[in-house]
A and B are shown apart, each in its own frame.
Chain A
């Protein structure tokens, strides 16, 4: 399992170095609080600092893990969890944990008022709003009209197959969990996705495993267009690289959410609920919108970097990945093989190295099997 976790650690975008943040309690009788998250220290620090000002009696221990490591660790510790709160953008995996009963309900008024579409059962809460975007080089406009939607991209690919040959990059769904999630969601939204995959294959698109690799390639000039990049990372990167333009597709934009939950057998349930309440509170959400590239969900907050702003701009085109049992289908191993096979056939196989998907990169559908009897 360890090698598997390592493998997945390499596969997930922006594999974060395992680091941690600590905040010591001020005053007597400190209450510990352990958080597992997938958010780098620079983005997490302002949130935790603000929370600690509000709750100085807590000794906070934040572990920044990579998504699969987090999932593995939670499963390993399921008998006696060490973490009180876990937050991860790997929505299917988080949902699977909650569905299996590893989460505890939070009954605070804040949690009850949280938008229906961003929560499940008072147990799983989507705390951020992160669109999946396209990034292109600013100088692309001199050759062709830059794409603003999936349809645009498909049209460009069929009109300029030679010019764009090898110039497009996207996730390899066979090697990247995020890429796989997007592929399955894209395929679910439109049947024309397969035409797009075919066109991508025809134009020998390059497949990457992380958003940062794609962003670097774009910045280098190796790639002209990047398709399906994680918006929060791209936004931060584009802000520092003026040669790149980020565009949220007009026809539809997938939106990921970081899902947070309190562990069922959390060692410090009271502190865990306080932290979750804080995450859902207006100040924390405002901080998310302003101090981090992550979008805020709270309906009362408006302005750039919020769900409300994105909705206003794109209207019905916003497709948040639904927090529901459909996510479980994503994790079905046969489903995964089926989809990847279809994907490979559509991609026509020749551009991509013949990668057999790592035997079971998602061992989690069997976790119940191994855990049960």
Chain B
């Protein structure tokens, strides 16, 4: 995410990316075509000029005969002249007999490797610092008495071939460049054309009112329609989140307003009296209400903090046994005074999980308090293994199975009586979700009708 190495294409615009991916292969293609055209023009020139070698050697071979007990030849000047084109090549010829002995000529010309029974062979040879194209014609005497084999070798320098090859190459170069130019302009145009809907989408997004979360209505090609779909889904989620937030804020205000209104009414009522005893009674009530309200505010704050996606507190190894014992120890006296029997049943050895210490502690405290608030006389904290679990069991009235999921929503109370804020389980749920902990509500005892009770289980994910 942070720094993109320069050779990566991720930072390139779509247009540039298209250009790179279209024009680079195009350039390679053009290069291949050029090389191919170069080779083809050389071959074409060689083919054209090899015909001259062919004709000249044939014309010479026609003049070869047996005379004065040896190979004889009346060299036709025209045969040599046809080898010299406008490029005025240097011309060489030689006659060799069957044994490869030089008979006549104006230069010793090398042999070419013989390939099957071809009448005419061609090759590029160097001779005294000159690059020559050599043609060798194998033939035999036509006569009644002799049919000796002989070879006519003719060679010419390459000026004419080079000139023709260059000309052919320049011609195809012009064609290739024309085609390449057309292809480039088509690529440019089509890339622009293909990216046009993207521009429209960008404009549509940019022109929106930043406060609207209404879905995008825009006709787009298939690929971008998917993007629009995803965008609209995101917008829908944001709409839901905002609705939730608004409801939460509304609920929270409502929850805070009620005790504040009660405080206000109680104070007003007390002020009308002059009896300090009544004042005292009012103050005690007001103190209770204020304490509850303060707890409510504290829980709201911690719920907000827990729901803040930006905050990801560091995790460290936490011993669940130690945690359970610590919480029970700290709260024991307080609950004991209220007549709640608080206890812990833990395994003998430490059970380590990776978690945020204070969050787990808060979740456990909330669960204990929740149990005691809803009428439990006995609350037991358990730590079990395989899978690692933290359980809080009470003997309160329990929650019917159909209501259990609703209990996790903020401000939803199992029963309207009692001093709960309706946030405890919501906070536990938030903490559980932040830790990938599975939160389940189940009956504490097998037969709830005879013996009610609720057991809340926090199942930790496997350490792996």
Contact = CB atoms under 8 A, between A and B. Distances in A.
B167 interface: no
A325 interface: yes
B104 A325 contact: no
B464 interface: no
Contact of A101 (B79, B84, B130): B130
Interface string A321-335: 010111111111111
Given A330-B77, A368-B107, A373-B108, A120 B72 contact: no
B128 A101 contact: yes
Interface in A334-373: 334-335, 338-339, 365, 368-369, 372-373
Interface size of A as a range:
20 to 34
A100 interface: yes
Contact of A334 (B74, B77, B129): B74
A326 B106 contact: no
A368 B129 contact: no
A96 interface: yes
Nearest to A373: B108
Contacts of A42: none
Contacts of A369: 102, 108
B154 to A, nearest CB: 10
Given A120-B88, A335-B73, A338-B72, A100 B107 contact: yes
A101 B129 contact: yes
Most buried by A among B75, B80, B83, B129: B75
Given A324-B81, A324-B84, A325-B84, A335 B108 contact: no
Given A334-B103, A338-B72, A369-B102, A329 B77 contact: yes
Interface string B121-143: 00000001110000000000000
A120 B73 CA distance: 27
B175 interface: no
Given A334-B75, A369-B102, A373-B108, A328 B91 contact: yes
A328 B77 CA distance: 8
Contacts of B107: 100, 368, 372
B375 interface: no
B90 A101 contact: yes
A327 to B, nearest CB: 8
Contacts of A20: none
A99 interface: yes
B78 interface: yes
A224 B128 CA distance: 51
Contact of B75 (A100, A121, A332, A372): A332
A241 B72 CA distance: 47
A331 B91 CA distance: 13
A27 interface: no
Nearest to B106: A328
Nearest to B103: A334
A344 to B, nearest CB: 14
Interface string A33-53: 000000000000000000000
Contacts, number: 76
Contact of B91 (A99, A322, A334, A338): A99
A365 B105 contact: yes
B81 A332 contact: no
B108 A328 contact: no
Contact of A335 (B74, B78, B90, B102): B74
A242 interface: no
Given A325-B81, A328-B80, A365 B104 contact: yes
A288 to B, nearest CB: 25
B76 interface: yes
Given A101-B129, A325-B91, A365-B104, A335 B83 contact: no
Contacts of A326: 77-78, 80-81
A177 to B, nearest CB: 17
A97 to B, nearest CB: 11
B89 to A, nearest CB: 8
A14 B37 CA distance: 58
Contacts of A28: none
Interface string A297-326: 000000000000000000000000010111
A48 to B, nearest CB: 30
B400 to A, nearest CB: 111
Contacts of A372: 107-108, 128
A188 interface: yes
A144 B50 CA distance: 55
B52 to A, nearest CB: 12
Contacts of A329: 75-77, 79-80
Interface in A250-290: none
A338 B108 contact: no
Contacts of A339: 74
Given A101-B128, A101-B129, A368 B80 contact: no
Most buried by B among A100, A328, A331: A328
Interface string B56-96: 00000000000000001111111111011000101111010
A90 to B, nearest CB: 15
Contacts of B102: 369
A372 B92 CA distance: 14
A368 B108 contact: yes
A120 B74 CA distance: 25
A319 to B, nearest CB: 14
A74 to B, nearest CB: 16
Contact of B104 (A322, A324, A333, A373): A333
Nearest to B84: A325
Nearest to B102: A369
A322 B80 CA distance: 13
A145 to B, nearest CB: 35
Nearest to B72: A334
Contacts of B77: 188, 325-330
20 contacts: A99-B91, A100-B106, A101-B90, A188-B77, A322-B81, A324-B88, A325-B81, A325-B91, A326-B77, A326-B80, A326-B81, A327-B77, A328-B77, A329-B75, A329-B77, A329-B79, A332-B75, A368-B107, A368-B108, A372-B108
Q: Which 5 pairs between the two chains have the least Cβ-Cβ distance?
A: A326-B77, A325-B80, A329-B77, A325-B91, A332-B75
Given A333-B104, A334-B72, A368-B108, 13 more contacts: A99-B106, A100-B107, A100-B128, A101-B129, A325-B81, A325-B83, A326-B80, A332-B75, A334-B95, A335-B74, A335-B75, A372-B108, A372-B128
Interface of B: 72-81, 83-84, 88, 90-93, 95, 102-108, 128-130
